[in-house]
């Protein structure tokens, strides 16, 4: 099995031949991920501008800004969590590949599927807890402990949404090999 973007695209094309639902969800998630990556890049640029402005305004004008650190953190949290599904689609997350050369291609496919399954279990739990946290922040009207006091539901919802997309991506990667074996 090939790793990286090429290997994953081949896996999806095989799945498309046997399961059009998996293929349609995969294409939809690809479009969503590509839009999110562009927005995340803009969020990172905005965070850089905000933090640079903060440093310059303190150094040149000796004026304190109360909002810049949290605004940058919110942008960075959103960019990090919302792009996690894109990174997973590219198989870009950190992985230990020590066994790849020692195992047969079939054993590596099984290993990769087991890793995806274990990752899904962890991410599903994290997603559930993230949505719980976001809901509590929304219902209770929780805000940060700063003078600006933005609602904490914003970063919590971004975290929960990003983890949800990551779970969908991992489910697609779990379903692709299963769809191929179910083919007549």
What is the DSSP code string of 74-121?
A: HHHHHHHHHTHHHHHHTT-S----TTTTTS-HHHHHHHHHHHHHHHHH
| Report field, pTM of the whole predicted structure over 0.75 | yes
Categorize the per-residue pLDDT at 178 as very low, low, confident or very high, splitting at 50, 70 and 90: confident
pLDDT (0 to 100) of residue 10 = 41
Q: Once rounded to an integer, what is the mean pLDDT over residues 17-39?
A: 88
Mean pLDDT of the chain: 85
Percent of the chain exceeding pLDDT 70 equals: 85
- Residues 121-133 have a mean pLDDT of 97
pLDDT of residue 183: 44
Flag whether pLDDT at 177 surpasses 80: no
**pLDDT tens-digit series, residues 45-80:** 999 999 999 999 888 888 878 889 899 999 999 999
Helices 4-18, 20-61: crossing angle, 10 deg rounding: 150
DSSP 184: -
Kindly state the helix (H) or strand (E) to which residue 43 belongs, with its residue range. helix 20-61
């Amino acid at each position: 099995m090939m790793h990286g973007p090429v290997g994953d695209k081949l896996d999806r094309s095989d799945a498309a031949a046997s399961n059009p639902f998996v293929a349609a969800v995969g294409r939809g998630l690809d479009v969503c991920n590509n839009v999110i990556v562009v927005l995340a890049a803009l969020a990172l640029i905005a965070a850089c501008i905000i933090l640079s402005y903060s440093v310059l305004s303190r150094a040149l004008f000796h004026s304190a800004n109360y909002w810049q650190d949290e605004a940058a953190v919110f942008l960075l949290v959103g960019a990090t969590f919302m792009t996690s599904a894109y990174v997973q689609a590219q198989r870009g997350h950190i992985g230990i590949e020590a066994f790849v050369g020692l195992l047969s291609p079939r054993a590596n496919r099984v290993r990769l599927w087991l890793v995806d399954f274990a990752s899904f279990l962890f991410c599903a739990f994290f997603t559930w807890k993230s949505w719980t946290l976001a809901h509590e922040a929304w219902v209770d009207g929780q805000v940060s402990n700063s003078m600006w006091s933005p609602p904490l539901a914003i970063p919590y919802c971004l975290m929960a949404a990003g983890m949800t997309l990551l779970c969908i991506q991992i489910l697609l990667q779990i379903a692709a090999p299963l769809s191929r074996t179910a083919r007549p």
